[in-house]
Amino acid sequence: MNRLFSFVLLLSLATPIMVNASSLIVVEDRGGVSALPYYQDLAPEPTEQSAPLENMGVRGQGSFPVHSDQLTPGQAQGRVINAPGLQPLFLVGDDEMSKAWLTQRHEQLRHLQAVGLVVNVASAERFAEVRRWAGDLQVVPAPSNDLAQRLGIKHYPLLITATAIEQ
For residue 65, is the peptide bond before it cis, meaning its omega torsion is within 30 degrees of 0? yes
Answer with the residue of higher pLDDT: 39 or 109: 109
Q: What is the pLDDT of residue 148?
A: 94
Please state, for a pLDDT cut of 70, what percent of the chain lies above it.
63
pLDDT grade for 24, boundaries at 50, 70 and 90: very low
Q: What is the pLDDT of residue 160?
A: 97
pLDDT grade for 9, boundaries at 50, 70 and 90: very low
Q: What is the pLDDT of residue 164?
A: 96
How far is it, in rounded angstroms, from Cα 167 to Cα 118?
15
Answer with the residue of higher pLDDT: 19 or 65: 65
Is the pTM value of this prediction over 0.85? no
Please give the average per-residue pLDDT across 71-80, as a whole number. 95
What DSSP line would sit under 16-49, residue for residue? GGGS-GGG---S--------HHHHTTSSSPP-TT
Answer with the residue of higher pLDDT: 131 or 53: 131
Q: What is the mean pLDDT of the chain?
A: 77
Q: Which DSSP helix (H) or strand (E) runs through 8?
A: helix 3-14
What DSSP line would sit under 70-123, residue for residue? T-EES----EE---TTPPPEEEEESSHHHHHHHHHHHHHHHHHTPEEEEEEBS-
Please give the average per-residue pLDDT across 61-76, as a whole number. 88
Mind listing the pLDDT tens digit for each residue in 31-64?
Answer: 555 555 555 555 544 444 433 333 334 444 448 9
pLDDT at 95 over 90: yes
pLDDT at 98 over 60: yes
Please give the average per-residue pLDDT across 79-102, as a whole number. 96
